[in-house]
Amino acid sequence: MQYLMLIYHEERQWAELPEAEKQKVYEGFRVLREDLEPREKFKGGNALQPTPTAATVRVRNGKRSVTDGPFAETKEQLGGYILVEAKDHEEALAIAARIPIAKSGSIEVRPVMPPQQA
Q: Which residues bind another protein (CB under 8 A)?
A: 2, 4, 6, 8, 26, 29, 44, 46-49, 51, 53-60, 64, 66, 70-72, 74, 76, 78, 80-81, 83, 89, 93, 96-97, 102-103, 105-113, 117-118
> In whole angstroms, how close is the CB of 75 to another protein at the nearest point?
8
Cβ 39 to another protein, closest distance in Å? 20
Q: How far is the CB of 59 from another protein (least distance, A)?
A: 4
The three-state secondary structure class of 41 is coil
CB closer to another protein, 16 vs 73: 73
**Which residues, including other chains, have CB under 8 Å from residue 22's CB and lie 6 or more apart?**
14
Spatial separation of the C-alpha atoms in residues 106 and 6, rounded to whole Å: 8
Residues 6+ apart with CB under 8 A from 13: 104
Query: Three-state secondary structure along 51-97?
Result: HHHCEEEEEECCEEEEEECCCCCCCCEEEEEEEEECCCHHHHHHHHH
Query: Whole-number minimum distance, CB 44 to another protein, in Å?
Result: 6
For another protein, the closer of residues 38 and 72 by Cβ is 72
